[in-house]
Amino acid sequence: MSGRGNTTTEPTNGVNMLGMDRNTGKPLSGVDHICQSIVDILTTPLGTRVMLPEYGSKLFDLVDNPTDPSLAMRIMMESAGAIARWEPRVRIDRINVLAVDIGKITILIIATDIETQQRLEFNNMELIF
């Protein structure tokens, strides 16, 4: 496995399952799986995956920083870099920071699905740390 996310498809009862919903255990694919993957990438602190310590992002270190004009830019840059590295199914077109609260960042991500060229919009994505 390349470490760039689970991108293989395996038939499961006639359904191409890319993954599993982390809350329900049900099969998850398509845009829903991409969204779950992005949240996982952004909320996993670097160094916490035992076999893959470079997986994740530095957002955990930014979430409780004092809010100043550069914080939103640092969050956008870190998010774009982490997604570009670990989620090969999308190309990031835009990221906006909507809110930064204690232990939580809310962002808007607009991306393009590489395979279908479909525009994806993840609005009010809450990243809880």
Cα gap 39→115, rounded to integer Å: 20
Per-residue model confidence (pLDDT) at position 1: 32
User: In the β-sheet with 90-101, what is the strand arrangement from edge to edge?
Assistant: 90-101, 104-113, 119-128
Domains (range + CATH), the chain: 16-128 (3.10.450.40)
Per-residue model confidence (pLDDT) at position 17: 54
Per-residue model confidence (pLDDT) at position 59: 97
Per-residue model confidence (pLDDT) at position 68: 87
Please state the rounded mean pLDDT for residues 17-27: 87
- Rounded to two decimals, what is the model's pTM? 0.83
